Amino acid sequence: MNQIDSAINKTINILREAKHVVVLTGAGISTPSGIPDFRSAGSGLWEHDDPMDVVNMQTFKRTPARFFNWIRPLIKTMSTALPNPAHISLAQLEKVGIVKAIITQNIDNLHHDADSQNIYEVHGHMRQSTCLRCYAIHPAEISEEAVVVRKEVPLCPDCGGVLKPNIVMFGEMLPVRVLNGARKEVQKCDVIIAIGSSLEVAPVGDFPMLAKRMGAKVIIINLGKTYMDQVADVLIRADVVDVLPRLAAAFHPLSE
């Protein structure tokens, strides 16, 4: 048995004993669906742009076209992306009662598309946009048509104000109710699984350490290194689409 097989078996045993499992997902769970992450050399979205400048609320208010020119390719990619086996496996683990909550840093909607239910989107999502003038909320289709098809800044059909996607930009607060709900899940969990996240963005990246300090077991599934690797109870350095289906398969009898 190799190291990865041993780590997967150990994880399965931990999950069998767990009462409240919480999952934290980052960009690495969606890269197999064709969505680029932010930091990978050669392919990351921040490779040629300064995030503090492009995805910044003050910059957006001054020159929204710059943001939409940057995000246009990502919107096109996300509109056709499908959940991969990792997303689907987490939904299956939730369905059979193993996973109680998914906290995600992603804005791509793939956990919803995979039919997961208890999701905390701490960095927002692209399903809706909000008018910066009248605060009306509109479905994403209105913005997508303007940005992708007409290559324009999306405007509110009610008042003509600029529509901002309901994602969290630099200079904005995280959604308080979502963040507080996610933190409560972490505080009561006995196992947290961090999947495809570099754990570099606070405060969500601090959740595994918070859980560890409160006595929970920490499982890391990630191709890259994280600050939690040395203190994790299980570290699986492998592709999420290879690991998660094996975890879900171990609990198939529970759904029969």
Largest CA distance in the chain: 63
| φ and ψ of 220, to 5 deg | -110, 125
Considering the four listed CATH numbers 2.40.50.140, 3.30.1600.10, 3.40.50.1980, 3.30.365.10, the one that applies to the domain covering 39-80+125-167 is 3.30.1600.10
Contact 30, 238 (CB under 8 A): no
Secondary structure class of 233 (helix, strand, coil): coil
Question: What would be the CATH architecture of the domain defined by 1-35+83-123+173-256?
Answer: 3-Layer(aba) Sandwich (3.40)
One-letter amino acid of 19: K
Catalytic sites, residue numbers: 123
pLDDT in tens, the chain (256 residues): 699 999 999 999 999 999 999 999 999 999 999 998 765 444 445 456 676 788 999 999 999 999 999 999 999 999 999 999 999 999 999 999 999 999 999 999 999 999 999 999 999 999 999 999 999 999 999 999 999 999 999 999 999 999 999 999 998 999 999 999 999 999 999 999 999 999 999 899 999 999 999 999 999 999 999 999 999 999 999 999 999 999 999 997 544 4
Instruction: Give, rounded to a whole angstrom, the gap between the first and last alpha carbons of the chain.
Output: 29
Structure tokens at 106: 């992603």
pLDDT digits (tens, 9 = 90+) for 143-180: 999 999 999 999 999 999 999 999 999 989 999 999 99
**Global pTM value:** 0.92
Rounded to whole angstroms, what are the CA distances from 117 to 85, 97, 152? 17, 12, 34
The residue assigned the tokens 């171990």 is 250
